[in-house]
Chain A
């Protein structure tokens, strides 16, 4: 496989800057979503410090909203940690999917870039990698753009969020869902992928109905992944397989 993987250049300041500006337009949506989170956090009863610190330390929208759901007078610590892990388990796969390229750079750059690993910058970076143009600056700079706008949105939501009493009325509760779906459909599409998604949807739905809360994410991911495990891309002609992507 390693012969088909193109060479990943090391990090440069210019590359980080380019990545930052490339993801900034999309990050404007993150401001809106961060705003929604800031508002929800205040309504849940988190202090301003707790609200900002969660965005600072966790930097994962879906998990943060889930945490707010569970946040109460008596906070269930273990379920909260397991939920966070289950929701963010996709980071494991995201990091792993970039490994063929990340292993080429020094460990500090490899793990440093993972600090700002998020859905949007990962999806774009993997896309570039698979098209033979690996670009670590896009991951880091794009991640910084997402982090800055996420923090900015959180602060805005806390400060001015009271103006939007009902984010769902403006469709703002759908920002994350629409974002994730656009990322799915922006990826490679093949009969194999469509089958994987169908299996993922079905198994996730079954887990959502019959298994403990939040297991559906891991179950669906493994269900879809198993399709890939048993129905592999043609190994005989890697060149054709690459061009196909």
Chain B
């Protein structure tokens, strides 16, 4: 009990380190055009990387949900309808298939 609550504290501390770290590092290493370009390309790439296992290992419903989200996002450019579409497709696919 004590040990696992301490663990949650540690997880929180590690996460806080990542929240502060970006700003701390940037205050030491000056930003130049190349670094900024690197970070810009990286920001979308992180999310893509997290999604890869979902797309590869997930069921067909998961893949269809991502596809629906991407399609609606490209069409209407608003996250709420896109996410709603993705969830509905996942639920519907699992219900029907």
Chain A residues near B (Cβ < 8 Å): 1, 25-26, 29, 46-47, 49-50, 53-54, 56-60, 62-63, 67, 75, 77, 80-81, 84-85, 87-100, 102-103, 110-111, 114-115, 117, 119, 126, 168-175, 177-188, 192-193, 196-197, 199-201, 203-205, 208, 216-229, 231-233, 235
Q: Which residues of chain B come closer than 8 Å to A186, judged between CB atoms?
A: 73, 77, 79
Chain B interface size range: 35 or more
**Are the CB atoms of B49 and A216 closer together than 8 Å?**
yes
A-B contact pairs, 8 of them (CB 8 A): A57-B9, A75-B7, A81-B14, A92-B18, A97-B43, A174-B61, A216-B53, A228-B38
Q: Which residues of chain A come closer than 8 Å to B8, judged between CB atoms?
A: 50, 53-54, 57-58
User: A63-B15, A88-B15, A179-B79 are contacts. A172–B70 as well, Cβ < 8 Å?
Assistant: no
Q: Which residues of chain B come closer than 8 Å to A54, judged between CB atoms?
A: 8, 11-12
Which chain B residue has the least Cβ–Cβ distance from A235? B33
The 4 closest A-B pairs by CB, nearest first: A224-B45, A95-B22, A220-B49, A228-B41
The CA of A205 and the CA of B69, in the complex, are separated in Å by 21
